[in-house]
Amino acid sequence: LDRLTETLDLSGNRILVSAGGTTEKLDPVRFLTNRSSGKMGVAIANVATLAGGQVTLVQTNHAVGLPVLPGIKVITVESAQELYDQMHAQVADQDIVIMSAAVSDYRAANQADQKMKKNQFSSDEGGLTLNLVENPDILASLPKEGHYTVGFAAETQDVIAYAEQKLVKKGADMIVANDVSDQTIGFNSDENQVTLVTTEGAITLERQSKIGVAANILAAVQEHKK
């Protein structure tokens, strides 16, 4: 890590990072979400700042409370649509865009204005069915010109093959593939084990702290960006 932070120099670079799991409201007191803590994205934002980069962090409410270094511009969002709006609002003039947020693939087709009542959906009348509609794919929708784009891929099987598909489909320059079948790493843990997938091939990093993974991702970006 010492060696990496010595060679990592992001001065003069603007870096946009998203972090955390998004939340989709069902009614004023209930929501759908996922297990992502935001630790990986916040580690990237912090390491990029230490390396001299000018960082904008769009984090979800899951990541609020994680320590963020001074100098980082922090924007907080909740839903995938809010994240979409902020990423598009901030993307101009960035040099590196890193989409590490775990975006809800679906949201409620209709958000109830008032709390849903138990007796509205009795089993006798078929119970409660939630109608979900697809959220926009933020990474795929972002412009790609003028900056280096990194996405993540959480997979439980065929990790590299799926990551390669996402690289092409979303137009990213690198996909950080994450095997989430091992529940002791990834999501809420302080460690991670990832494979960096680019058109030039796949490099598997050793299991290490999320800070270490962040430094390795940024070093690979610095190298590939040249």
Contact residues for ligand CTP, defined by CB under 6 A: 80, 99, 101, 103, 105, 135, 137-139, 151-154, 166, 170
Alpha helix (H) residue ranges in the chain: 2-7, 39-50, 80-90, 138-141, 159-170, 210-225
Give the nearer residue to ligand CTP in terms of CB position, either 174 or 215. 174
Give the nearer residue to ligand CTP in terms of CB position, either 122 or 156. 156
Per CB under 5 A, the list member of 7, 9, 71, 105 interacting with Ca ion is 105
Check binding of 134 to Ca ion (CB under 5 A): no
CA dist 146 and 128 (Å) reads 47
223 in Cβ contact with 12 (< 8 Å): no
Minimum distance, C-beta of residue 154 to Ca ion, in the bound complex (Å): 7
Instruction: Report CA-CA distances (Å) from 175 to 41, 185, 201, 209.
Output: 14, 18, 11, 19
Taking phi over 0 as left and psi of -120 to 50 as alpha, with beta for the rest, 12 belongs to left
Q: Residue 62 binds which one of ligand CTP, Ca ion, none, with CB within 5 to 8 A depending on kind?
A: none
| Residue 210, annotated as binding a ligand | no
Minimum distance, C-beta of residue 224 to ligand CTP, in the bound complex (Å): 17
Residues facing 175 on adjacent strands: 151, 197
CA dist 157 and 199 (Å) reads 20
Minimum distance, C-beta of residue 168 to ligand CTP, in the bound complex (Å): 12
Positions marked active-site: 34
Q: How many residues bind Ca ion (CB under 5 A)?
A: 1
Contacts with Ca ion by CB under 5 A lie at: 105
Write out the binding residues for CTP: 105, 115, 136-139, 152, 166, 170
